[in-house]
Structure 1
Amino acid sequence: MTRFWRGKAVGPMIPSMYLDKQLENEKNHNLNILGPPTITSIDWLNQRHSKSVIYVSFGSLTELTAQQTEELTCALTACGKHFLWVVRLSEEPMLPLNFRHDVSDRGLVVSWAPQLEVLAHPAIGCFVTHCGWNSTLEGLCLGVPMVAMPQWTDQSTNAKLVRDVWGLGITATKDECGLVRKEEIMSCVRRVMEGDEGLLEPINEPT
């Protein structure tokens, strides 16, 4: 075959079943060294309406400051929408006391989630992300509107591509202290989920 086809495939390389809903195999491509959560993210999402949930994840390397975590916590608490938030164990001490319990009626906080499966779920209406390259590709391939909160390295460039080139998201603006305030986060989420931002139609529709 290499005699006739000398090119090599270059991304986006996500399991084909997430792009073609007729394929039923290849469903588990995730690595979870923490073991399965008590309440699985997918079981929780299965109980939510279409495009009603904010998915929040900043990847495996990016760590928010205590101040930024507080702003994000306040935004998710006040926005009135369902949310699924991935918070690493090392970051949990920055959450308010009893936060999990206080938001349990509409929010789920987990230490890990199967991101591709989550983003492909019809309940997801918005992806709040640091715009790391893997997360950007996954959100783009699955057509999930993004609120970009880039932190470092190539993330600002990726966020600009999401906003200005691919038209699948907006970038949350930092203030003079370098923080994205709760009001800005709430505004961006509402614009993406409720407003007319000219974003691409998501493809994570129920089948």
Structure 2
Amino acid sequence: MFVTHCGWNSALEALSLGIPMVGMPHRADHPTVAKYVMDVWKVGVRVKVNNGFATKEEITTCIRQVMDTDKGMELRKSSLVWKELARQAMDEGGSSNKNIEEFVAKLKLM
């Protein structure tokens, strides 16, 4: 389980490693990434804030939800699905692998 500010890079890293997340977005793209973590990828929960602050009780509740509940089990299962999808994309012939090969080929033409 990863407590994250929901920056794009750290969220994608956790997603590709199959790690469920507790999101505490701060600014910029963080709320959007938190929305993806919870509602699109279904790999985490979001800490609720009050007047811009999260209480230790709320953070503890979210961590326990991910670690010790049936919902947490579903989040962990979903995280493993995303991990496998990321692995497939990076494998030879996968979409990410193809994109890198195309990019390198274009660089060689320059």
Give the TM-score normalised by structure 1: 0.36
5 Å matches for 1:3-152?
126-152=1-27
1:158 partnered with 2:7: no
1:199 partnered with 2:53: no
Q: CA RMSD in A?
A: 1.4
Distance in 1 of aligned mates of 2:16 and 2:10: 10
In structure 2, list runs of 5 or more residues that go unmatched: 84-110
1:180 partnered with 2:54: yes
Q: Counting helix residues as a fraction of each chain, which structure ranks higher?
A: 2
Q: Counting strand residues as a fraction of each chain, which structure ranks higher?
A: 1
Q: Runs of at least 4 residues of structure 1 off by over 3 A?
A: none
Shift of 1:200: 3.9
Name the amino acid aligned to 2:62.
C
In structure 1, list runs of 5 or more residues that go unmatched: 1-125
Distance in 2 of aligned mates of 1:148 and 1:161: 10
Q: Which has the higher contact order (CA 8 A, sep 6+)?
A: 2
Other structure's SS at 2:70 match: coil
Distance in 1 of aligned mates of 2:70 and 2:61: 13
What is the number of residues matched between the two proteins? 78
